[in-house]
Chains A and B, each alone.
Chain A
Amino acid sequence: MEYFTLFISAVIVNNFVLTKFLGLCIFFGVSKNLNASIGMGMAVTSVMTLSSMLAWVVYNFVLEPLNITFMTTAVFVLLIASFVQLLEMIIKKQAPALYNMWGIYLLLIATNCVVLAVPLLNAESSFSFLKSVVYAVGSGLGFALAIVLMASLREKLRLADVPKPLEGLGIAFILAGMLALAFTGFSGMITL
Chain B
Amino acid sequence: METAIMVVIVMTVIGLVFGLILAFADKKFSIEVNPLIHIVDDILPKGQCGSCGYAGCMAYAEAVVLNPEVAPNLCIPGKKPVADLVAELTGKSAPEIEPRIAQVRCKNTITHAIKKYNYAGVEDCIAASLIQGGPKGCEYGCVGFGTCVHSCPFGAMVLGEDHLPLVDEKKCTGCGKCATVCPKEIIHMTPIGAPVAVLCNSRDKGVIARKLCSVDCLGCGLCTKSCLFDAITVENNLAVVDPKICMAKCTNPTCLEKCPTGAIYDLKMV
Interface set of A (CB-CB < 8 Å, partner B): 58, 62-63, 66-68, 71, 74-75, 78-79, 82-83, 85-86, 89-90, 92-94, 159-161
Contacts and interface: CB of A to CB of B under 8 A. Distances in A.
A71 B11 contact: yes
Interface of B: 3, 6-7, 10-11, 14-15, 18-19, 21-22, 25-26, 29-31, 122, 124, 127
A66 B25 contact: no
Contacts, number: 52
B18 A92 contact: no
B25 A90 contact: yes
Contact of B25 (A62, A74, A78, A86): A86
Given A82-B19, A86-B25, 8 more contacts: A62-B10, A62-B14, A63-B10, A75-B11, A75-B14, A82-B22, A83-B18, A89-B29
Nearest to B3: A68
Nearest to A71: B7
A78 B18 contact: yes
B127 A89 contact: no
Given A86-B22, A92-B31, A67 B14 contact: no
Given A89-B25, A160-B122, A78 B14 contact: yes
A154 to B, nearest CB: 15
Contacts of B10: 62-63, 66, 68, 71, 75
15 contacts: A63-B10, A67-B6, A68-B6, A68-B10, A75-B14, A79-B18, A86-B21, A86-B22, A86-B25, A89-B25, A89-B26, A90-B25, A90-B29, A93-B31, A94-B29
Nearest to B4: A68
Contacts of B21: 82, 86
B3 A67 contact: yes
Nearest to A93: B29
Contacts of A62: 10, 14
Nearest to A62: B10
Chain B CB within 10 Å, residue with most, of A63, A82, A92, A161: A82
A96 B124 CA distance: 38
B29 A66 contact: no
A82 B6 CA distance: 22
B32 to A, nearest CB: 11
A171 to B, nearest CB: 15
Nearest to B15: A78
A110 B11 CA distance: 19
Contacts of B30: 93
Contacts of A89: 22, 25-26, 29
Contacts of A67: 3, 6
A63 B11 CA distance: 10
A173 to B, nearest CB: 22
